Chains A and B, each alone.
Chain A
Amino acid sequence: MDETVAEYIRRTVLKIPRDEIKPMLQKWGFLSEAQIETVNFRQMKENISQDVVQLCEENSADIKQAAVLDIIYNNIYPNKRIWSVYQMNKTGEETEFFDLTDFKKKFKRRLRSALKNVTINFREYEDNAIWIRIAWGTPYKNPNQYKTSYVVYHSQTPYVFISASVLRSNLPLLCQALVVASNYRDIHEMELRSHSLNSLKDIVFKRYSQNFQTYCPRPLPERNVAPETVDSRIIQENRNEKERIQRLNRQVFGDGPQPKIEFAQYKLETMFKSDPEMDVLDKKEPFRCLVKFSSPHLLESLKSLAPAGMADAPLSPLLTCIPQKARNYFKIREKKGLLPGSFVSP
């Protein structure tokens, strides 16, 4: 077995949390059940990985099998990478029947015709997701297995989720190969990025609980009222206001959990509005400014702002439109015409 393959397998196993190593090896299927049983999974991970490499040696693993293990790892722990969403457009014809073999063949052929040194692996999952792992090389160097890009393509949809690696220069080639292989016309990057692959899927496939604007003259009856032992002697003076905020919040965010994104970025290209007496920026150029919101779970924290008293309800639509518009990177320009600056929210 190649030394580089052995080292790669060793490092991959080291990434896996100790309790998950055995299930993942079983899922991999390269080592027999008997072989897996010989490994002591209670020892230190260093030693576990050595044992696994030894077994792979016995089975003569090559890079293809090692790559499959890597795909399995990334499929279970996709949140370690940042994913971008791309959308493909058809020429307007009817949807053709999707042929997986044809897709794989065309994809590989397209990539390899441009770049000989690539490792390409596919794995299909039950939810119609095709995972593609690409390790990039150069015309003069073998593929670097540690600089990989991942593509998740749901064949029934025009959406592709890409986790590019450091080598962004290969991105156009990758996009081209995808378009050709899937019989689409072109592909463009959406302004939507996150660590949570599932949340990105939730957003573009509209799987999160959406707010439906219903006309509701009376306040909704309170559900989820925490049955605390609230002393009846405690009187909330602002109950009406609190209920109004809850109602607005529910209307905007819906009831269910929010998709998980970590950033929202707003690039402002608007005119600076100041007191004319202050005479700042007399050149009247757009004031370039970048506003970035970050949080472990941005949408949930936005949802809790108004109830926590940190912001007025309703929140700015620039913040609340993120799931509906399926974007978290915005460019805000001056709105020309009747209402200057109305496109910019305070």
Chain B
Amino acid sequence: HLTTSLPLPSERDHLRPRIDMIVFMIDIKSKYSLKNVEASLAHVDASFFLGKVCFLVTGVGRVNYCSVEMNAISKLGEVYCSPVLFCELELEGIRVATAQRLLRMLQICAGHIPGVSALSFGTLMRSSADN
């Protein structure tokens, strides 16, 4: 399900399945994108932040056009205890690899991988990022 901001439009509530994971996409070229994500985060139930939220920063290939500071993004990841992934959508290889990563995370969040829970996976990702 794609949306431009949260909360989701209520007219479709009855059509929506259970939400297993939320990926917030931040375009590094747009400060507005970051602001939008920050505003939307306020509408997310706290339980999602136990491993079911992830930040995806796009547009990192074009260094000249960075509008959003890295500090702000890493702070966001820390504050909301969620992993931050970086990718460049314009390159097919990276796009596909990122999609596969997200898919894997989704499988865990949805409980399809026995023995690994969203929370444990989230802890795993965080501790490896700190190193």
* Interchain CB contact under 8 A, B9 and A238: yes
Which B residues are CB-close (under 8 A) to A309?
4, 32, 36
Q: Hey, what's the 0/1 contact readout for B1-43 against A, CB within 8 Å counting as 1?
A: 1111100110110000000000000000010100010000000
- Number of interface residues, chain A, beta carbon within 8 A: 9
Total of A-B residue pairs, C-beta within 8 Å? 27
* Interchain CB contact under 8 A, A236 and B2: yes
* Interchain CB contact under 8 A, A237 and B32: no
Within 8 A of B (CB), among A201-246: 234-238, 240-241
A233: nearest residue on chain B (CB-CB)? Answer: B1
A166 in the interface, Cβ–Cβ < 8 Å? no
Distance, CA A123 to CA B15, complexed state (A): 68
Question: Is the contact region of chain B dominated by helix, strand, or loop, or is it mixed?
Answer: loop
Distance, CA A190 to CA B3, complexed state (A): 44
Min CB distance B92 to A, Å, is 15
- Number of interface residues, chain B, beta carbon within 8 A: 12
Which B residues are CB-close (under 8 A) to A235?
1-2
Which A residues are CB-close (under 8 A) to B5?
238
B1: nearest residue on chain A (CB-CB)? Answer: A235
A311: nearest residue on chain B (CB-CB)? Answer: B32
A310 in the interface, Cβ–Cβ < 8 Å? yes
Which B residues are CB-close (under 8 A) to A241?
4, 9
A240: nearest residue on chain B (CB-CB)? Answer: B9
Distance, CA A237 to CA B8, complexed state (A): 7
Min CB distance B113 to A, Å, is 21
Which residues from chain B sit less than 8 Å from chain A, CB to CB?
1-5, 8-9, 11-12, 30, 32, 36
Which residues from chain A sit less than 8 Å from chain B, CB to CB?
234-238, 240-241, 309-310
